[in-house]
């Protein structure tokens, strides 16, 4: 079974590419969806988060605003939260891969925004990075989050630089053009995976 890692910074179009890959029949593990599930009401991560920031979890519900404020006040909390979430996501990913192997999948996709940051690329046979020009990325993030471009650029600056991801990638999809062009590149990737 081939394992393709899929990653890219915010506003690069990674979700669009993941959707196109899924429509083509490739099983996708969505790390962001797993995190949302772990942090949903009565989610598996909430008891451990409550031990770190008790006032952020009430009646099985995570108040993200309170958690965000706690992290702003105490930045070291972010690493502690990652030590809770990342192993849980890794365990879910392991279960997904085991299930796909049992079902005889030819190729699967691990959609992981922090692929390189968490070392998950070591589990992959190849990595696909979704990239776009910086100005396109900033415009998309600003529009999606309803914020000024300057704020969007600050958010983007906190992430691994796009050039660093691209240097490490085996495959790249450029999403700065039309949707048709993105779809054409995805079709090429799918053909190469099925070859």
Which residues are known binding-site members for ATP? 11-16
Binding site members: 11-16
Token digits of residue 56 = 């952020």
């Amino acid at each position: 079974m081939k394992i393709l890692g899929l990653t890219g910074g915010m506003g690069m179009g990674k979700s669009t590419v993941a959707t196109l890959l899924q429509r083509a029949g490739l099983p996708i593990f969505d790390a962001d969806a797993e995190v949302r599930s772990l942090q949903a009401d009565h989610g598996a991560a909430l008891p451990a988060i409550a031990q770190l920031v008790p006032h952020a979890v009430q009646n099985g519900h995570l108040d993200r605003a309170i958690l965000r404020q706690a992290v702003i006040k105490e930045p070291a909390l972010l690493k502690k939260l990652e030590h809770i979430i990342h192993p849980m996501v890794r365990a879910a990913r392991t279960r997904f891969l085991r299930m796909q192997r049992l079902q005889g999948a030819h190729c699967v996709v691990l959609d992981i925004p922090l692929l390189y940051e968490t070392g998950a690329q070591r589990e992959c046979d190849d990595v696909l990075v979704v990239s776009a020009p910086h100005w396109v990325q900033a415009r998309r993030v600003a529009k999606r989050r309803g914020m000024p471009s300057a704020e969007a650029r600050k958010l983007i600056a906190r992430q691994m630089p796009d050039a660093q991801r691209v240097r490490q990638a085996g495959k790249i999809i450029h999403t700065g053009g039309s949707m048709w062009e993105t779809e054409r590149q995805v079709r090429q990737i799918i053909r190469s995976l099925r070859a």
